[in-house]
Structure 1
Amino acid sequence: MRFERRNPVSAERVWEGKAADAADVAHALAVARAAFPDWADAPQASRVAIVQRFGELLAFEATRLADLIGLETGKPRWEAASEVQSMIAKVGISIRAQAERAGERSEEAAGMRSVLRHRPHGVLAVFGPFNFPGHLPNGHIVPALLAGNTVLFKPSELAPATAEACLRLWRQAGLPAGVLDVLQGGAETGALLAEADLDGLLFTGSARTGARLAQRFAQTPQRILALEMGGNNPLMVWEPEDVEVAAALVLQSAFLSAGQRCTCARRLILPVGGEGDDLLDALLALCERLRVDAWDAEPIPFMGSVITPAAAETLLSVQAQRVAAGGRVLRAMRILREGTGLLGPGLLDASDIALPDEEVFGPLLQVQRAQDFEHALQLAGATRFGLAAGLISREPARYEQFRRRLRVGVLNWNRPLTGASSGLPFGGVGASGNHRPSAWYAADYCAFPVASLESPRLQIPEIPGLAAAAPAS
């Protein structure tokens, strides 16, 4: 089946091609399986050299690739350029992380050597998301290849062109045939690949899809499954040092990437009374100044489009449901240009409604007012997710309480919630992940440890309770 991808504002066709069917998946798997032994046995230095060459090509093609990401996803040019820089940085970070977390070490004692080595799993599938079509799949693919796995990459059907461009760069870097292939398509192609005879699957996407994959993999514990999913992330502002600065941090936390980052703030928790009112006033004033436009517009916008016009309509439906349940509109999220995915940022006071524990993947920030700090902590922790949480406060003691109470994988203080370091692990707990964090820890799930005791000579072991041999007659 053929499908296409169009820009979410101009409707310009970006890519057109065929979705992989069962025969395509089977063929790609056979090729990857055949390529695995040579790639796994290649010297580590050879694999590192190819990955480094890929990073060099990314740098050389940075502007062109950023423009493609902007055109395909609708994110502003400056943000797409930042994504490409993150891809380039990931190369060096992954090489260092692999050496630290999945390298080789040995010790000698009493004529015996204890050795730790790591071996690749085999053929891994990588499922990529649309919001970071280069960076997030890259965070799985680079460490998987460094470990010696072969990879079948199914990008989001909403970002096929970026995946194809990256595959070309890998091939230019000298990656052997069959070591990495791209299988384009939607949910049907993903289901075919998930059901194939893989050695593992590395997924970034929604909690709903991740839960289905976990069920599918439950009967096959021999296969690795790494799930990186979303969150219903709380951001608390309590006794900030500066209200205006705090409002700017909230703006970035909630509306960066048009709210389409898994770490975006979904719930803003404020105290009842004047302090919370002042923060909201400052935030609403900033929202009025926030530019939303096409990816290549001038002057540059802060926010681009959500991924499709249909996604924009879905988000408006969510907003309408919250309002019908009793939510109070502080600033309505609305479509700024008919037939596009351009949405203005929205704020909704949800203090008096039973807020569904769902990830709203777009520029709608839901406000909850708390009577005191303990109540605020209870609101922040009232979620099945556990990806990210943040506190903006001048009081270190408040942060100590906050970090001890919140069960999340990413926790920030006086920083945007959307900020994360690739030099640290990245992932969540609860409905946000399955304890397979990526970034610095990605090397952990891309290889398995082999512990060996080795001796160059045979030695007679001590065997307590063994009777002495009878003397020879």
Structure 2
Amino acid sequence: MTTAYSADLALFIDGAWQSGEGRDALPVLNPATAQTIADLPKASADDLAAALAAAERAFPLWRATDVDTRATILRKTAELLRQRAEEIAVMMTMEQGKPIAESRSEVVGSAQLFEWCAEEARRMYGRTLVRPTGARSMVLQQPVGPVALFTPWNFPLYLMAKKVAAALAVGCSVIAKPAEETPGCTTALMRCLADAGLPAGVAQLVFGDPAMISSTLIASPAIRKISFTGSTVVGKHLMRLCADNVTQSTMELGGHAPVLIFADCDLEKTLDLVVPQKFRNAGQVCVSPTRFLVEAPVHDAFVRGFAERTAGVTIGNGLDAASKMGPLANARRPDAVAALVEDAVAKGANLAVGGARENGPGNFYRPTLLAGVPDAADIMRVEPFGPVAVTRPFETFDEAIHIANSTPFGLAAFAFTENGRRANLLGDALEAGMVGINGFGISVADAPFGGVKQSGFGSEGGQEGLASYCVTKAVHQV
């Protein structure tokens, strides 16, 4: 396996790669070493104007392109992602920090998204309404227009692929603005699209000042929709910007996922599932299981088993095959996580394991378990977005549901029980856009992904994800 950072970073506008030429640049840091590994060109106002013009010009041509041609390009993109998977995975790990095995899985998952959208685009059906003889009424699904796509650094390739594949599949042109922390792997995705034969102007890639880019793109009447994945705070700001032009939006925002552990579950099997899931991507997952609500009779046993497994999680550089958890993605995160842990301990939580930064370079924070965390602790309301799990016991089903639903967030929720009747009730009672019962497999190509309450609105993935890039039109003929 090569460990060299091989990204050729550039903007992609109207079919051309652009870098240098007097543009300012941003350093790209390796979070495991804190070293600069590349310089990223920043888009200027002129670059954004060119990207908007290209997307607006290319949209009617791409919309008119038959679905078989669009599908062929998406399938070729998936093929190229698979061929280049190792190179892309290394770039992702060096930029983001996650273990190389997780990066490889993310590339494969991204290819699967393109393959699924290529096929599902053929099934964007409308419907015909019943009318008298000689009259017709049709309901059509048509692409909304040029779209702006904003994606974060925690799953940089997969989240960009989820948006781009769906938008292109239904006939939209796109301007993608991924995170500046992880530009190499997202640039590699755009290179796959270009090499697959995507026409010039159908997709652009820009990096730079996030506030300047978002305000410029959303203010343009050329942009008919945005899709954003990120924090609730930023999502609210972008929604305000969208109001001026009544621009459609899909918002996949923060979460604080509860996990309800009932005494009738297979506790050892459950622990073997939940601990690796909690520390996947160092807990930097919007649907990461965090608030473990454990039925009182098994709470202490759950804490012991969780702590034992947590102590065995090997942390280190993601390129080391022995590492099961890498660093946090940026230098701000360890301090933010530490502040939440210290607050919880000060208010009565028991620090069962972890709770400290790792010595040496890089943004490492030890896998941490806080047991018996009181409601007053900030971490019960604030998503840690890091390698911290918290527990508290409950006595009754209604109490567990009340605690689970007590935050403003509602992205994902999980529960472990062998009682079928209880499982049905949990699916109904938990306030979340996605519920996992006895497992964590909720992010798949053919299912909708999205939240409720302050976790956002709209869905990505599944038929609902493709439909989100369409407008509905009724045509009546007499």
So what's the TM-score if we normalise by structure 1?
0.90
Deviations 1:235-274 (A, max 9, x none): 011114322111122213321111011110120101234x
Give the CA deviation at 1:350: 4.9
Give the CA deviation at 1:401: 2.5
Tell me, yes or no, if the aligned pair for 2:70 and 2:118 is still in contact at 8 Å. no
1:242 maps to: 266
1:93 maps to: 116
Report the secondary structure of 1:294's partner residue.
coil
* Cα 1:97–1:359 shift into 2, 3 Å: farther
Amino acid aligned to 2:353: R
In 2, Cα distance between equivalents of 1:382 and 1:121: 36
Deviations 1:390-437 (A, max 9, x none): 111122222223222111111011113x64322111111001112344
In 1, Cα distance between equivalents of 2:162 and 2:359: 34
In 1, Cα distance between equivalents of 2:194 and 2:460: 28
Spell out the pairing of 1:236-315 with structure 2 (5 A cutoff).
Answer: 236-273=260-297, 275-299=298-322, 301-315=323-337
Q: Residue 210 of structure 1: which of 235, 244, 257 is its match?
A: 235
Give the CA deviation at 1:232: 1.1
* Cα 1:278–1:108 shift into 2, 3 Å: closer
2:356 maps to: 334
Spell out the pairing of 1:42-441 with structure 2 (5 A cutoff).
Answer: 42-100=65-123, 102-106=124-128, 110-188=133-211, 189-197=213-221, 198-221=223-246, 223-273=247-297, 275-299=298-322, 301-356=323-378, 357-416=381-440, 419-441=442-464
1:447 maps to: 470
Tell me, yes or no, if the aligned pair for 2:460 and 2:466 is still in contact at 8 Å. no
In 2, Cα distance between equivalents of 1:179 and 1:451: 27
Amino acid aligned to 1:232: H
* Cα 1:130–1:303 shift into 2, 3 Å: same
In 2, Cα distance between equivalents of 1:250 and 1:130: 23
Tell me, yes or no, if the aligned pair for 1:70 and 1:80 is still in contact at 8 Å. yes
Tell me, yes or no, if the aligned pair for 2:147 and 2:226 is still in contact at 8 Å. yes
2:5 maps to: none
In 1, Cα distance between equivalents of 2:137 and 2:126: 11
Give the CA deviation at 1:304: 1.4
Stretches of structure 2 lacking an aligned partner (at least 5 in a row): 1-23
In 1, Cα distance between equivalents of 2:345 and 2:25: 39
In 1, Cα distance between equivalents of 2:126 and 2:426: 38
Structure showing greater radius of gyration is 1
Report the secondary structure of 1:218's partner residue.
helix
Q: Which moved more, 1:420-429 or 1:8-17?
A: 8-17
In 2, Cα distance between equivalents of 1:270 and 1:76: 29
In 2, Cα distance between equivalents of 1:49 and 1:27: 27
Amino acid aligned to 2:240: Q
Report the secondary structure of 1:425's partner residue.
coil
Tell me, yes or no, if the aligned pair for 2:48 and 2:217 is still in contact at 8 Å. yes
Stretches of structure 1 lacking an aligned partner (at least 5 in a row): 456-473
In 2, Cα distance between equivalents of 1:143 and 1:294: 33
1:464 maps to: none
In 1, Cα distance between equivalents of 2:274 and 2:167: 35
Report the secondary structure of 2:28's partner residue.
strand
In 1, Cα distance between equivalents of 2:82 and 2:335: 37
2:21 maps to: none
Report the secondary structure of 1:134's partner residue.
helix
* Cα 1:322–1:23 shift into 2, 3 Å: farther
Tell me, yes or no, if the aligned pair for 1:333 and 1:363 is still in contact at 8 Å. no
* Cα 1:210–1:438 shift into 2, 3 Å: farther
In 2, Cα distance between equivalents of 1:15 and 1:237: 45
Deviations 1:16-62 (A, max 9, x none): 12222322212211121112221111122221111111111111111
So what's the TM-score if we normalise by structure 2?
0.89
Give the CA deviation at 1:70: 1.4
Spell out the pairing of 1:29-48 with structure 2 (5 A cutoff).
Answer: 29-48=52-71
Runs of at least 4 residues off by over 6 Å: none
Count of matched residue pairs: 450
Q: Which moved more, 1:168-177 or 1:445-454?
A: 445-454
Q: Which moved more, 1:105-114 or 1:427-436?
A: 105-114
Tell me, yes or no, if the aligned pair for 1:133 and 1:159 is still in contact at 8 Å. yes
In 2, Cα distance between equivalents of 1:33 and 1:183: 16
